[in-house]
Amino acid sequence: MKIRTPTTPALSPNLSAAPQATLTHLDESMNPISATIKSHFAQGYIVELEDGTEAHLRLPELIDRERELHIAGNEKLMYGKNISVYLVYRDETYCSVSQLSPSERQQRQTMAEKKATAQKECALGDIYVVRVDRECNWGYLCSEIGGDVSGAIKKPTIALETGQHLSVVVVGKNDVGDPYFEPDRK
């Protein structure tokens, strides 16, 4: 099994390039503000903030029932609901909010970077212990136990069950660099 040293790259947004209107609202992003869901669009909801500003709440920033109903196409059930959000971006023409706190957004970003690094460093012949996360009609989605690599086992293969742990070998990668596994027969 490949040994990797975890890294946590620091995020350093280039604030000097941001418009002044954005900089004056960065302190506000640390505290939740009240918003009312007004309508929806393909990527999320339109909300009205407590100061009357209209903002976008996009799918990656949704949690819980708001996310579930948007994915299911039942957004209208949320109209008029008051929710807590965090300011992500604001200038004279656009405002974006999130239901995730700044620390949750940072954690999500760090996890995505760790996964991207792990996927990139994963090489043909590497062996991992994975858990079967989900069966699809074309194969199985799997994720490394105690690690950051995730990939797929394509059918036809041995019968697997969701939740099953097994040793796999990397046999290829798709166009975006995610690994294809086969059960390790050793």
Q: What pTM, to 2 d.p., does this model score?
A: 0.60
What's the CATH class of domain 127-183?
mainly beta
Q: What are the tens digits of pLDDT across the range 63-79?
A: 888 888 888 888 888 89
Please, which pLDDT band fits residue 30 given cuts at 50, 70 and 90?
confident
Average model confidence (pLDDT) across the chain = 83
Cβ contact 183:171 at 8 Å: no
* pLDDT score recorded for residue 74: 84
What does the block give as tokens for 107? 């954690």
pLDDT at residue 5 tops 60: no
* pLDDT score recorded for residue 6: 33
Please state the rounded mean pLDDT for residues 88-107: 91
* pLDDT score recorded for residue 186: 74
* pLDDT score recorded for residue 20: 38
Q: Give start-end residues of each CATH 2.40.50.140 domain in the chain.
A: 17-100, 127-183
Handedness of CA 40, 42, 44, 46 (dihedral sign): negative
Please state the rounded mean pLDDT for residues 81-96: 92
Query: 17-100 maps to which CATH number?
Result: 2.40.50.140
Please, which pLDDT band fits residue 172 given cuts at 50, 70 and 90?
very high
